[in-house]
Structure 1
Amino acid sequence: MPSFEEITRHHDADPSESPWVNGPPGPETVTIVPYDPEWPRRYRALSARIRAALGEAALDVEHIGSTSVEGLAAKDVIDIDLTVADPRDERSYVPALERLGYFLVIREPSFHQHRCLRLTEPRVNLHVFGPDCPEAIRHRMFRDWLRAHPDDRARYERAKRAAVPGGGSVMDYNARKQQVVREIYDRLFRAAGML
């Protein structure tokens, strides 16, 4: 199990490392839509296909991100965390996921060996981490906090909507809402006695 220090540490990208498997993404229009009650059902179907394709290699599959929080407006993109024994061993999971239509877009050795695969239809970001990864723990904690704290859920939605103008890539959008995200993380970590 990671330490509190490992879980509460905010990650800043290593500027010497390009995580993009096929080059950085171009500009993309970010659209925030009202919460869709179909999102959990879509996740369950996606999760079942991932588990069937990977078998025992899928140690855990979790719905994370804004579409996992009832009532929260979001991009119409399902975010999923997949736990495998070793993200570096791409042969043990990438080919099976490619047969489902996923393609590898991010490889980040310096960030817990994070891998991200994308599915185009329906739109999915599939994040791959190893067991007891601090970032996967953070994702679940953030999701659960927003589910239980409507004030922070509303604050996060306002930050998301305010981050849309300005264009650029999804990474630019994420950077514009980062301060609010980190403030919410700090609040939830303090409430959990981790800071």
Structure 2
Amino acid sequence: MATFAEITRHHDPDPDENPWVHGPPAPAPVRIEPYDPDWPRRYRNLAAGIRTALGPAALDLEHVGSTSVAGLAAKDVIDVDLTVADPRAEHTYVPPLERLGYVLAIREPSFHEHRCLTLAEPRVNLHVYGPDCPEAIRHRLFRDWLRTHPDDRERYREAKLAAVPGGGTVMDYNARKQQTIRDIYDRLFRAAGML
């Protein structure tokens, strides 16, 4: 069971670790779309395919990220957290997902053994973690907080829009909105009695 200290710690990957399985993506403009009420249906269809492909190897699936929060503008990319018994055992989940068109893009041993597979159409980031991973717990807490706290949902929307100018990669965009994300985490952790 992850402790409050593990969940509330802002854990960053090792900066010397190269996470890119096939090299980093080319810089591309980030586009924020108005909330699309079709995103939850798209997630359900994707989740059904993943569950069928992986069977009991898929311990849990969660729709996370901005597309999982009704009313929140987002990149048109569905973020999914997949829990498997051991992310290092790629042979247990990568080949079945590759047959669905997913590509293993990121391998981050220093960041909770995180793996990320991408799908080009529809666009998906499939994040793979082990059981009781603090980062996956954080994703669910953040999603649920934004669903029930419209002020922070609006604050996050504004931060996303402000982070788009400047170009670069999605990682650059993410870095520009990081302080707002951490401020929201601080509020939700304090409200939950975790800090």
TM-score, scaled to structure 2: 0.99
How many angstroms apart in 1 are the aligned matches of 2:192 and 2:111? 24
Q: Which residue of 2 aligns with 1:18?
A: 18
Cα offsets for 1:61-102 (capped at 9, x unmatched): 000000000000000000000000000000000000000000
Count of residues paired in the alignment = 195
Q: Which residue of 1 aligns with 2:43?
A: 43
SS in structure 2 opposite 1:29? coil
Q: Which residue of 1 aligns with 2:92?
A: 92
The Cα of 1:13 is off from its aligned counterpart by: 2.5
Confirm or deny that 1:115 pairs with 2:118.
no
How many angstroms apart in 2 are the aligned matches of 1:193 and 1:49? 37
Structure 1 residues 127-142: aligned runs within 5 Å? 127-142=127-142
Q: Which residue of 2 aligns with 1:61?
A: 61
Q: Which amino acid aligns with 2:142?
A: F
SS in structure 2 opposite 1:105? strand
Structure 1 unmatched ranges of 5 or more? none
Cα offsets for 1:85-140 (capped at 9, x unmatched): 00000000000000000000000001110000000000000000000000000000
How many angstroms apart in 2 are the aligned matches of 1:117 and 1:12? 19
Structure 2 unmatched ranges of 5 or more? none
Provide the aligned C-alpha RMSD in A: 0.5
Q: Which residue of 2 aligns with 1:185?
A: 185
SS in structure 2 opposite 1:115? strand
How many angstroms apart in 2 are the aligned matches of 1:180 and 1:13? 19
Cα offsets for 1:126-182 (capped at 9, x unmatched): 000000000000000000000000000000000000000000000000000000000
Kept after mapping to 1: 8 A contact 2:12/2:111: no
The Cα of 1:24 is off from its aligned counterpart by: 1.4
How many angstroms apart in 1 are the aligned matches of 2:117 and 2:148? 29
Q: Which amino acid aligns with 1:34?
A: P
Q: Which amino acid aligns with 2:162?
A: A
How many angstroms apart in 1 are the aligned matches of 2:111 and 2:6? 12
Identical pairs, percent:
78
The Cα of 1:18 is off from its aligned counterpart by: 0.7
Q: Which amino acid aligns with 1:103?
A: V
Q: Which residue of 1 aligns with 2:175?
A: 175
How many angstroms apart in 2 are the aligned matches of 1:156 and 1:79? 17
